[in-house]
Chains A and B, each alone.
Chain A
Amino acid sequence: MTAVLECVGLTRRFGERVAVDAVSLRVEPGETYGLLGPNGAGKSTTIRMVCGLLAADSGIVTVAGRTMAPGSAARADVGYVPQDVALYPDLSARENLRFFGRMYGLRGPTLAARVAEVLDLVGLADRGGERVESFSGGMKRRLNIGAGLLHRPRLLVLDEPTVGVDPQSRHAILDSVRTFGAAGMAVLYTTHYMEEAERICDRVGIIDRGKLVAEGTPRDLVAMVAERDRVEVAASGDLTAFAAACARLDGVDSADTTDGQVHLVTADGRALLPAVLAVAERGGIGVRSAQVVEPDLETVFLHLTGTALRE
């Protein structure tokens, strides 16, 4: 099958820093590909090169058989949904959609029909004449996605579309993304929420420090750490020192701390727990809870990169 999106050896530097380092990936028609990584991992830079917003230092991006670069005609095949709500607040929803539709060459009755269709799709058919500034956050997010669908792109690129979204809107967005994939559209979806990747992505690429460190279906990736447990310790005190002390324990593959928790990957979580609690007691760490979690993408990420996903 011909890939809608193919990246080969994609690299981009900012000064001495390598933001994206030889990333290669393919997204097939009807496939939803999740690019999973923490903030600063290189997801947005990769997406900007895929959308022709940023030039690659080396490597090639091909969209529907056409080479993508800033200014290239291949942009017509891509629908881009930025992380922030990229709409004009002082224009109405319909005016926003008309404007962006025209930018993709839609005119006349075709444009009017597509605008009506998208407003209906995002549940704003009865609010089309209202200014975007009067919308709730969830409505803006839905319209933000709708603006990327106007021209029926072959590849839809969503850059963390659920950041800062309430749970109800988040569910609606994830459901609609699944619909796009089912309709045959290729979807590239970046997130740092592993449960989103598990829920909607056919395949997931894990990116860390600019490198694609693993790729596969969520099931395949979890299978990589099937013999591993993740231990999560919610505690207070010097958690960085606590995580470092835990990392020195026998059988601990990796340890990291985030959001008031210490995350450990080990072969046998239950066996490790007494030693972890002993370390906490010696270090004056107040442990609120400790649990052994079944392997998931979070475990995979921690195992592969040594850092927790939600930084």
Chain B
Amino acid sequence: MTILIIAAKDLRQRLRDKSAIVLGFLAPVAIAWLMSAAFGGVGGFHLEAAVVDQDGGDIAAAFTAMLADDDLADLVTLHPVSGVDDARAKLADGEVSAVFVLPAGFSAAVRGTAAVPVTVLGTVDEPVARQVGVAVAEAFVARFNAVRLSVVTALAAGADPATVADLAAEAARLDLPEYLVDTPIGSRQLSAISYFGPGMGIFFAMFAIGFTARGYHAEREAGTLDRLLAAPVRRGSVLAGKSLAAFAYAMASLTTMAVVTTLVFDAYWGPLPAAAALIAAMALAMAALTALVISLTRNQRQAEGLASMLTFGLVLLGGNFVFVSVAPAALRGLALFTPNGWALRGFTDLATGAPATAALLPVAAIVGFAAATAVIATAATRWRRP
């Protein structure tokens, strides 16, 4: 009961502190929205392209048809152009961001030995579009060259030159084996807000560690902690009450973040029970970290320093600011030593359509981290003699 009373008093004070409201509820929503706006383009890339067909042959037509295929409708939109000059004008206007110029003789080259280059035109304003265009052209040309190589090899082996067209058609029908297969746990595409929502929510909720620990030492310096400890209250109850307040604040902050980003920005945090379990586990870890910071420090300055180091260290290692999936392997490994790294892994799996059970391992890892941290905090508290 005493623990609840202390936690309730702390929360009442927290709610009267405008900075805590801003940090816990307003800032994470705003920053998550900004970061998803900044990084959202990576996930939702769309190429506005044009093809200048100076060849007019069947291979050139096949290239144009490939770009216009329904399967690529979400990725590429083809714009009609009358020639290179028209294409350049549309590039300059920003109407298109990449132009493929297929030269005369492009189709005929499949049956010969001369190389015919494909030109990709782009603008310095949209380097990513140009890179994607080059990659698309290279992939097509690689396949084109594979067909050419097959035909030349067959002719060298004594095939009838009259069957070149049949040979080329036969080679073109053969699919190259796919060595690299993307096998996500879920089936949805991860949106930026579904990643940065939890990422920023956890980051800002972690500020509860710092100001709760500072609050404990502020009470020590103001004398209210002595007054509490002069009452029939155990020191452990005071620590537990403070940690419970941090838990409740983190829960409220992350829950608000989940609701707002879901309703306003269309984020997906996963099935409700699984997302709730991850949020609760993460809040538990923050409560344990709060107890650790309190038990290892002696004044507000130390508490602020240690809490800042922990918060920024954990969010940098855990991947709150960058997509962990595109981080170096070492960083991805280090993320699994942090509760927030596990939480983001769980939220990412859930957001990409994995079943609720995908949260079990992250929740277990986070709870394990919290338990180990709480044990250290308890030992440190007992070690100090009053």
A53 touches B233 (CB 8 A): no
Inter-chain contact A71/B227, CB cutoff 8 Å: no
Nearest chain B residue, comparing its CB with the CB of A49: B386
Contact check, A86 vs B226: say whether CB atoms are below 8 A apart. yes
Contacting A88 at CB < 8 Å: which of B5, B13, B234, B386?
B13
Cα A73 to Cα B17 in complex, Å, equals 35
Q: How large is the interface on B (under 10, 10 to 19, 20 to 34, 35 or more residues)?
A: 20 to 34
Interface residues in A192-235 by Cβ distance below 8 A to B read none
A279 at the interface (CB under 8 A from B): no
Given A70-B386, A91-B13, A53 and B223 touching (CB < 8 A)? no
Question: Is there an interface contact between A82 and B223, defined as CB atoms closer than 8 Å?
Answer: yes
Q: Which residue of A lies closest to B229 (CB)?
A: A53
Contact A86 B223 (CB under 8 A): yes
Question: Does A102 lie at the interface of the complex (its beta carbon under 8 Å from any beta carbon of B)?
Answer: yes
B224 — nearest CB in chain A belongs to which residue?
A86
Question: Residues of A contacting B235 with CB < 8 Å?
Answer: 70-71
Report the separation of the CA atoms of residues A246 and B48 in the bound assembly, to the nearest whole angstrom: 100
Distance in Å from the Cβ of A102 to the closest Cβ of chain B? 5
For B229, what are the chain A residues with a Cβ–Cβ distance below 8 Å? 52-53, 70
Q: Find out whether the CB atom of A80 lies under 8 angstroms from the CB atom of B230.
A: yes
In the complex, chain B residues whose CB is within 8 Å of the CB of A311: none
B9 in contact with A54 (CB, 8 Å): no
Chain B residues closer than 8 Å to A48, beta-carbon distance = 226
Asked whether, in the complex, the Cβ of B386 is within 8 Å of the Cβ of A54, the reply is: yes
- Complex-state Cα separation, A85 to B226, whole angstroms: 11
Among A91, A105, A147, point to the contact of B227 (Cβ < 8 A): A147
**Nearest 6 Cβ contacts at the A-B interface:** A86-B223, A80-B230, A103-B231, A70-B386, A82-B223, A86-B227
17 extra interface residue pairs, beta carbon distance < 8 Å, beyond A88-B9, A100-B227: A48-B226, A53-B230, A55-B385, A71-B234, A76-B232, A78-B230, A80-B226, A82-B226, A82-B227, A87-B224, A91-B9, A95-B12, A99-B9, A103-B228, A103-B233, A104-B231, A105-B232
Could you list which residues of chain B lie within 8 angstroms of chain A, going by C-beta atoms? Answer: 2, 5, 9, 12-13, 16-17, 222-224, 226-235, 385-386
A residues in contact (CB < 8 Å) with B:
48, 51-55, 70-71, 73, 75-76, 78, 80, 82-88, 90-91, 95, 99-100, 102-105, 147
18 residue pairs from A and B, CB less than 8 Å apart: A55-B386, A70-B386, A85-B222, A85-B223, A86-B222, A86-B223, A86-B227, A88-B9, A88-B224, A90-B17, A91-B9, A95-B12, A99-B5, A100-B227, A102-B5, A103-B228, A104-B232, A105-B232
